Amino acid sequence: MTSGGPVGGQVAVDQLLEVLDLTQTDEMTFRGMSPPVGPQRVYGGQVAGQALVAAGRTVDPTRVVHSLHGYFVRPGDPVEPIDYQVERIRDGRSFSVRRSVARQHGKTIFFMSASFQRTEEGLDHQAPVPPDVPGPDEVPTMAGRLARYPERLGIWSLIPRPIDVRYVGEPGWVRPGDRPADPYQRVWMRIDGKLPDDPLLHACALTYASDLTLLDSVLSVHGEVWGPGGVVGASLDHALWFHRPFRADEWFLYDCWSPSASGARGLATGRMFTVDGRQIASSVQEGLLRRVGA
Catalytic residues: 211, 235, 285
Q: Which of 277, 268, 264 lies closest to 231, judged by CA?
A: 264
What ranges in 22-78 are assigned the alpha helix state H?
A: 44-56
C-alpha atoms less than 13 angstroms from C-alpha of 3 in its C-beta half-sphere: 0
Sign of CA dihedral 182, 162, 271, 57: negative
Dist CA 210 CA 272 (whole Å): 9
In sequence order, the 6+-apart residues with CB closer than 8 A to the CB of 2 are: none
Sign of CA dihedral 275, 277, 278, 280: positive
Angle 199-210/9-20 helices, nearest 10 degrees? 100
Q: Which of 285, 289, 284, 286 lies closest to 233, judged by CA?
A: 289
Dist CA 283 CA 215 (whole Å): 11
